[in-house]
Amino acid sequence: MSEAAATARRLSRPAAPALWAAAAFVLGRLITFAAGFAAWAGNTIPPTTGRWATGDHSILIHGMFARLFDPWVAWDGFWYTSIAKLGYLKPQSPAFFPAYPYMIRGVAVITGSTVMAAVIISVVCAGLAMVLFYRMVAARYDARTAAWAVAFLSLCPTSLFFGVAYGESLFLLLILGSLALAERGMWVAACAVGALAALTRNTGGLVCLPLLFLYAERRHWTWRRVRLEWPSDARLAWLVLVPTGLLLYMAFLWSRFGDALAFVAVQRAWARSFALPPVTLWHATQQAGHALRMTATHWPLAWSWVGPGGDGQWMYAMVLLPFVALVAAIIVLVLAWRRIPAAYNVWTLAVVAVPLFSPMRGIALFSFPRFLLMAFPLFLGAALLTAHRPVLRWTLIVVSVVLLAWLSASFALFSWVS
């Protein structure tokens, strides 16, 4: 019996899918920490010098836990932990919404370290998000599909952000929590959790769209038949709770900086501006072509060029990987469209569209693969589309694991990965 057939047989047992999903999540975090630890251990640059000097050294841990936690506080992680420790002091800080950093501040009272608190929150929230994701998919499809959906999400290359000082884990947990509550008919609670999502990320308010579609699904509405009934459908008014998270943050920014839209204005510091999606796609295609030409000129690739921290690694992470991620997202979205609930498809479209409307100058799809982590229906689509294609399924898993290790090591060396 082949290994793939043996695995399929094991997954047919009642408890096996849940165990497989849990194992995939744990494996993903172990790969991230092991690759990062190995890269950090071999790094000759002290953590408070060189490129690490761009952050606040006082936040980092010293001693036996330094190698375990410090590699995961880089880039946005410095902003989140600095806000947790010092508040919104710098002009660029409004770009980072308050739910995650203030949760870090609360947990740091127990851990004694903002770094440790940030990493623990990310891992725990990611684990809870996977539990919700598994249950939501299993309720609509079956346990085996749910297990593979969780595996694709837990092992995807940018899933390293589920264990670093970034707000991705918390945001995903809140989005899934809001939708899961709506699917169970707990409408007020769903909208309240949606408000927390809007307090976590600037795109959190978009959860109103899938919530509305889920409500329509429960009411058996169609495009041709929408029948509002009083007083039962007055519950729709609770959707106004969702944007209150954003409004609260805007009120804070007004009192702190005198600008309620400071989180929008500060995007100029990252060279982001409005553009139409076709323009963004055209620029992304051109940049990906340039990356491929650069690859051809450096073939065979030297490890110093393509390895963690190398010039090629930066180019792939900023340009080529985002373009491949966009193409893959479009393929999965189109092929799995009719097999995925309308509410989920709407959320995926929102997650994909927002970065296309706000590209970075010179790097059109900057951070796009990380944003796609929130498009959980894409990973459900991957599980559905590969259900009868074991070779393709395992190939994708293996490639994902390799890229996850590569990006994790790169991130630990303070290289930009997404």
Looking at the DSSP bridge assignments, the partners of residue 272 are 360
Residue 394 CA, chain-centre distance (Å), reads 22
Span 174-185, pLDDT tens digits: 999 999 999 998
Task: Write out the two tokens for 306.
Answer: 């393509």
pLDDT at 203 over 70: yes
Pairwise CA distance, residues 144 & 152, whole Å: 12
Give the mean model confidence (pLDDT) for residues 189-214: 95
> Closest by alpha carbon to 169, among 190, 184, 185, 153?
153
- Quickly list DSSP for 307-321: STTSHHHHHIIIIIH
Res 298: pLDDT: 67
Top pLDDT among 241 and 293 is at: 241
Q: What percent of the chain has pLDDT over 90?
A: 57
51 confidence band (pLDDT: 50, 70, 90): very low
Residue-wise pLDDT for 244-265, tens only, equals 999 999 999 999 988 899 888 8
The answer to whether 39 touches 71, Cβ cutoff 8 Å, is yes
Mind listing the pLDDT tens digit for each residue in 144-176?
999 999 999 999 999 999 999 999 999 999 999
- Across residues 373-387, what is the average pLDDT? 96
Mean pLDDT of the chain: 86
Amino acid 370: pLDDT: 94
CA–CA separation, 15 and 364 (whole Å): 44
Distance CA 113, CA 99 (A): 18
Mean pLDDT of 265-279: 84
- DSSP annotation of 272 reads B
Output the pLDDT for position 293: 83
pLDDT tens digits, residue range 362-378? Answer: 889 999 999 999 999 99
Please indicate whether residue 273 or residue 27 has the higher confidence score (pLDDT).
27
Question: Does the pLDDT of residue 302 top 70, yes or no?
Answer: no
* Rounded (10°) CA dihedral 110, 129, 24, 412: -50
Q: What is the pLDDT of residue 303?
A: 61
Q: What is the mean pLDDT of residues 231-247?
A: 88
Q: How confident is the model at residue 312 (pLDDT cuts 50, 70, 90)?
A: confident
CA distance 65 to 162: 19
DSSP string of 217-230, one letter each residue = HHTT--SS-----T
Q: Looking at residue 398, what is its pLDDT?
A: 96
Q: Is the preceding peptide bond at 47 cis, omega within 30 degrees of 0?
A: no
Under DSSP, the state recorded for 127 is H
* The pLDDT of residue 49 is above 70: no
pLDDT of 31 > 50? The answer is yes
Identify which has the larger pLDDT, 191 or 112: 191
In the 8-state DSSP scheme, what is residue 54?
G
Which residues neighbour 316 within 8 Å (Cβ) at sequence distance 6 or greater?
Answer: 291, 306
- What is the C-alpha to C-alpha distance for residues 9 and 348, in angstroms, rounded to an integer? 32
| pLDDT for res 52 | 43
Burial of residue 197 (number of CB atoms within 10 Å: 0-12, 13-18, 19+): buried
The arithmetic mean of pLDDT across residues 390-414, rounded, is 93
Mind listing the pLDDT tens digit for each residue in 124-135?
Answer: 999 999 999 999
What is the predicted pLDDT for the residue at 125?
97
Residues 218-230 have a mean pLDDT of: 75
- Residue-wise pLDDT for 57-66, tens only, equals 555 555 556 6
Query: With 80 as the cut, is the pLDDT of residue 268 above it?
Result: no
Q: How confident is the model at residue 299 (pLDDT cuts 50, 70, 90)?
A: low
Q: pLDDT at position 38, please?
A: 84
